[in-house]
Amino acid sequence: LCPLSNSFLPLGSQSLRLCQLFALLAAIWFRTYLHSSKTSSFIRHVVATLLGLYLALFCFGWYALHFLVQSGISYCIMIIIGVENMHNYCFVFALGYLTVCQVTRVYIFDYGQYSADFSGPMMIITQKITSLACEIHDGMFRKDEELTSSQRDLAVRRMPSLLEYLSYNCNFMGILAGPLCSYKDYITFIEGRSYHMTQSGENGKEETQYERTEPSPNTAVIQKLLICGLSLLFHLTVCTTLPVEHNIDEHFQATASWPTKVIYLYISLLAARPKYYFAWTLADAINNAAGFGFRGYDKNGAARWDLISNLRIQQIEMSTSFKMFLDNWNIQTALWLKRVCYERTSFSPTIQTFILSAIWHGVYPGYYLTFLTGVLMTLAARAMRNNFRHYFVEPSQLKLFYDVITWIVTQVAISYTVVPFVLLSIKPSFMFYSSWYYCLHILGILVLLLLPVKKTQRRKNTHENIQLSQSKKFDEGENSLGQNSFSTTNNVCNQNQEIASRHSSLKQ
């Protein structure tokens, strides 16, 4: 369900790269001299906010005022509208303001140019505003039994102060390239509670907190900077020799054989990915250098610094399914789409999520072609997996054969899907698809028409909940004492079914 990239990430702006380098050094200074054990949360909030606004002003000039306008008006909406409906109003305003800025930048100023795209940071701020609004709505309006386990964990139980809100939206660690993080995780980091462990008491209810030794992020930061260096080197040496635009070159289309076209399509899109590896990994390293991003310890006792990581390179390149690729690419945006859209809509959640992803990315026609194609590919891949995968689980040789075939198909399908995202414009995108005779579109439609589509767990549980509700009403008329017992049991059942169904739907 996740989008393919953030449009502002490619390496086009010298000032952006300089500011990210400054942010890395500032993060080291922030962790060393403004550690939570040495100074108050207030000072940490103020410094993180002021540094972030300074970097934004240095990179984007007075366009950075859009960040404050969008954030400020959204905060006023939260205060004035109230917790019942503010998440809807904030969603419409923040996304609408972002879209207006994107239309202005693309169609008035510099169509097709990525340099110093001020709407890029606004994409992250839009995610944070809408996420926070939903988390406040969940924590201050909805009942706990109505929430999923993840919604309950992220729910915000009090309205943030203006300083906390601005610090969350505009801190120097994430204002330029993200990634998105939850409000509770950020506040936990600022207040120095990231290393507090919770242990249940003997009765299972009492909880005690104790503090473990704070792990050093240095190893994680160095590893991520090495990945950045390799990605940058690959981008500067290989990517320029394998342009995606060559896929629509008339001479290439006329003379290349089909195997050559398929191989070049895959290699050219493979070569386009390191610039995103560079930007996202650097952003993650900056947060880690400041001490943010600690997830806990693995089973071997090693510290994990992947709380807000945005990608897993090995899993991406070795993906054997469309879902596996999407689960490991732009992870934080995928979680945002799940939390603000997929979990909160009852009608065609997959389609609505892809549409939201396209709108959030921008107004280039290629984005919409990619995400519309992505809907078809996702549904077709799900149908194929549900109908055939169980035949290839055993023996191991058969499963290996299945994995090799699905890896090839997945990589080609992903490359085919994202070409318009790179080309941006409508004409070259259709030129590419027509040169391939829309073959994967046609194949995807045939799969959906010919293969039986299993009813998703989400739909099954909706039907079961309706039946339980009707049964509940019948019992209410029969026995008032039985009503209370059945109602309590039914609520717990519905809650467990909802959690299981959403988890199952997303895994599919």
Per-residue pLDDT averaged across 21-37, rounded? Answer: 96
Asked if residues 195 and 211 have their Cβ atoms less than 8 Å apart, the reply is yes
Q: Determine the pLDDT at residue 473.
A: 39
The residues, any chain, with a CB within 8 Å of residue 260's CB and separated by 6 or more, are: none
Asked whether the CA dihedral 340, 56, 22, 9 is positive or negative, the reply is positive
Q: Determine the pLDDT at residue 7.
A: 41
Task: Please tell me which residue, 96 or 202, carries the higher pLDDT value.
Answer: 96
How many CB atoms are closer than 10 A to CB 190? 23
Whether 208 shows a pLDDT value over 70: the answer reads no
- Identify the residue whose tokens are 């386990």: 149
- Least confident range of 184-188, 243-247, 500-504: 500-504
Asked if residues 335 and 310 have their Cβ atoms less than 8 Å apart, the reply is no
List pLDDT tens digits, range 279-296: 999 999 999 999 999 998
91 by Cβ neighbours in 10 Å (0-12 / 13-18 / 19+) ranks as buried
Q: Determine the pLDDT at residue 193.
A: 86
Per-residue pLDDT averaged across 83-110, rounded? Answer: 90
Res. 456 pLDDT band, cuts 50 70 90: low
Asked whether the CA dihedral 57, 58, 61, 67 is positive or negative, the reply is negative
Res. 211 pLDDT band, cuts 50 70 90: low
Per-residue pLDDT averaged across 21-32, rounded? Answer: 96
List pLDDT tens digits, range 153-168: 999 999 999 999 999 9
List pLDDT tens digits, range 299-333: 888 899 999 999 999 999 999 998 899 899 999 99
Question: Percentage of the chain surpassing pLDDT 70?
Answer: 82
Asked if residue 349 has a cis previous peptide bond (ω within 30° of 0), the answer is no
Strand partners, 196: 211
Asked if residues 70 and 122 have their Cβ atoms less than 8 Å apart, the reply is yes
Annotated active-site positions, please?
A: 330, 361
List pLDDT tens digits, range 336-388: 999 999 999 888 888 899 899 999 999 999 999 999 999 999 999 999 999 99
